[in-house]
């Protein structure tokens, strides 16, 4: 971002001596009682390493103000170019402004705005109104942008939008802090991330992430971090946590801080959860520490939930959805039985390792390995006693974040019971 502002820096750092290189006409005059010089036609002048051209310039000799009018172009030795219809330089304040429509470019980055201003001594620049910054990979828009040259830091405020073309990610918020040398950015004040992908069926698959703070690291990791009150929604997958890390290069998401993940009707909790994608499609989920999965058994029996718990859990997915759940260390499962849509008791099983296979969302097989213990409860012992069959750690959450409507407004959900 420093390159964006070099032209403004050069303009403001001019000495008291202006070297006129060309003007079709030079006239001496007075403006409001002050001596002035007016340069007319093909005006070119330089001050130190800055070269300025315009159609017309008016220099007030006492106050030091120089008005630049028509096709104003400012170029410094680094090749940065600033263009505007009008500009003003205040010699004594060491302040430069560009008016009406500002374009600043170094050949790689282009900044446009309606107004630009640079303060030389504190080395601070300010742009406002319709600010747009573009490079080969991203576009940033904002109501205003302030740049601190010494710290190489910029602050964008107002309706801030960052769009990454290569990953089709858009982040909105009300403030963006960016450190160019550190390749680090932070978005605060209601940040929202949206990523839209096309599925194999041609339908749009939208990822939406909300949190109190979002941070982006653009080094080799390409890491995006969502901090505090994190909500994630994508197709059949939703999640809540306190901290989420998105490794965009490796297609993985790390969830920490009491994470909860929902896939279709299944709720999964644990001390920490890792979500792995393949070509941006759900591949598998790893749950570490106090892993617990809860699924409704049958809509005709709303109080009955199939459950599986253990220390470690791995959920494998494919195009048809959940394919396999594998639980290790103190693994316990509760599975309700049905026959011709009628309830038929439940099986409670424990062991060192439990593997459940699914086909089209339905359990096909359940296998227990090591230290096997099993118990069957007939229907007369289950009916009316559903809560007694909830495993230790059972907790059903009702604050699942849902998909967002087209205008970006969130469908509010009730909090945890």
Q: What is the CATH number of the domain that holds 368?
A: 2.60.450.10
User: What is the rounded distance in angstroms from the CA atom of residue 377 to the CA atom of residue 61?
Assistant: 99
Q: Is residue 6 part of a domain?
A: yes
The pLDDT, as a whole number, for residue 8 is 33
Q: Does residue 183 fall inside a structural domain?
A: no
Residue 415 main-chain phi, psi, to 5 deg: -80, 175
Task: Supply the pLDDT for residue 417.
Answer: 33
Residue 167 within any structural domain of the chain: no
Structural domain total, the chain? 2
Q: Determine, yes or no, domain membership for 210.
A: no
* Residue 202 maps to a domain: no
Q: Which domain holds residue 23?
A: 1-95
Q: For 103, phi and psi rounded to 5 degrees?
A: -130, 120
The per-residue pLDDT for 148 is: 83
- Distance CA(9)–CA(15), nearest Å, equals 13
List, run by run, the mean pLDDT of 10-residue segments along the chain (417 residues).
31 56 93 92 82 91 89 79 87 80 84 86 85 87 89 91 86 92 89 78 77 87 91 91 89 94 94 90 93 91 94 91 93 93 93 91 87 94 94 95 54 36
| CA–CA gap between residue 355 and residue 370 (Å, rounded) | 12
Instruction: End-to-end CA distance of the chain: give it in Å, rounded.
Output: 48
Any residues with CB less than 8 A from the CB of 228 and at least 6 apart, and which?
Answer: 211, 212, 213, 242, 243
pLDDT given for residue 407 in this prediction = 40
C-alpha–C-alpha distance, residues 372 and 310, integer Å: 14
Q: Is residue 199 in a domain? A: no
Residues 6 or more apart in contact with residue 102 via CB below 8 angstroms = 82, 83, 84, 111, 112, 113, 114, 115, 116, 127
Q: What is the pLDDT of residue 369?
A: 94
Token pair recorded at residue 101: 């429509």
Q: Tabulate helix, strand, coil % of the chain (nearest 5).
A: 5, 65, 30
- The pair of three-digit structure tokens given for residue 336, joined into one six-digit string: 């309700």
Q: Return the closest-CA partner of residue 194 out of 202, 204, 179, 183.
A: 204
- Structural domain contains residue 293: yes
CB-based burial label for 62 (10 Å; 0-12, 13-18, 19+): exposed
Determine the Cα–Cα distance for residues 213 and 225; give it in Å rounded to an integer: 8
> In sequence order, what are the beta bridge partners of 287?
273, 313
Nearest to 171 by CA among 215, 112, 110: 215
Place of tokens 């103190």: 330
User: By the 8 A CB rule, do 193 and 184 touch?
Assistant: no
Tokens of 110: 């282009």
Radius of gyration of the chain (CA): 31
Residue 193 tokens, joined:
């991330």
The residues with which 213 forms a beta bridge, in sequence order, are 188, 227
Q: Are 39 and 12 in contact (CB under 8 A)?
A: no
Q: Coil, strand, or helix at residue 398? A: coil
Beta strands in 189-265 (DSSP E): 192-198, 204-210, 213-217, 223-234, 237-247, 252-256, 260-263
Count of other CB atoms within 10 angstroms of residue 384: 9
Q: State how far the Cα of 148 lies from the Cα of 5, in Å rounded to an integer.
A: 10
The domain boundary residue, chosen from 66, 95, 124: 95
Q: How high is the pLDDT of residue 120?
A: 64
């Amino acid at each position: 971002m420093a390159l964006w502002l070099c032209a403004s820096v050069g303009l403001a750092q001019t000495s008291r001596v202006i070297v006129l290189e060309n003007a079709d006409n030079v006239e001496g005059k007075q403006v409001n009682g002050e001596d002035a010089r007016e340069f007319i036609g093909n005006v070119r002048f330089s001050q130190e390493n800055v070269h300025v051209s315009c159609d017309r310039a008016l220099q007030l000799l006492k106050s030091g103000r120089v008005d630049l009018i028509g096709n104003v172009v400012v170029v410094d030795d680094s090749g940065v170019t600033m263009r505007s219809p009008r500009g003003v330089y205040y010699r004594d304040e060491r302040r430069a402004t560009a008016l009406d429509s500002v374009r600043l470019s170094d050949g790689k980055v282009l900044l446009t705005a309606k107004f630009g201003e640079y303060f030389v001594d504190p080395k601070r620049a300010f742009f406002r109104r319709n600010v747009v910054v573009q490079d080969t990979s991203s576009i940033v828009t904002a109501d205003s942008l302030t740049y601190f040259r010494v710290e190489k830091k910029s602050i964008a405020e107002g309706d801030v939008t960052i769009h990454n073309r290569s990953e089709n990610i858009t982040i909105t918020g009300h403030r963006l802090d960016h450190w160019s040398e550190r390749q680090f950015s932070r978005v605060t004040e209601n940040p929202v991330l949206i990523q839209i992908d096309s599925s194999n069926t041609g339908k749009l698959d939208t990822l939406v992430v909300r949190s109190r703070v979002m941070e982006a690291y653009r080094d080799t990791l390409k890491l995006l971090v969502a901090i505090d009150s994190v909500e994630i929604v994508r197709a059949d997958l939703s999640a809540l946590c306190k901290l989420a890390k998105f490794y965009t290069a490796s297609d993985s998401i790390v969830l920490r801080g009491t994470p909860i993940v929902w896939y279709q009707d299944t709720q999964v909790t644990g001390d920490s959860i890792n979500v792995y994608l393949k070509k941006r499609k759900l591949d598998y989920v790893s749950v570490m520490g106090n892993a617990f999965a809860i699924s409704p058994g049958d809509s005709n029996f709303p109080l009955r939930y199939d459950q599986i718990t253990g220390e470690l859990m791995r959920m494998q997915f494919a195009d048809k959805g959940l394919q396999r759940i594998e639980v290790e260390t103190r693994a316990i499962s509760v599975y309700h039985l049905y026959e011709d849509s009628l309830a038929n008791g439940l099986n409670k099983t424990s062991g060192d390792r439990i593997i459940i296979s699914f086909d089209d969302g339905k359990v096909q097989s359940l296998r227990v390995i090591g230290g096997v213990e099993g118990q069957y409860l007939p229907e007369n012992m289950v009916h009316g006693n559903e809560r007694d069959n909830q495993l230790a750690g059972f907790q059903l959450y009702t604050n699942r974040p849902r998909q967002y409507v087209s205008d970006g407004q969130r469908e509010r959900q009730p909090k945890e019971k």
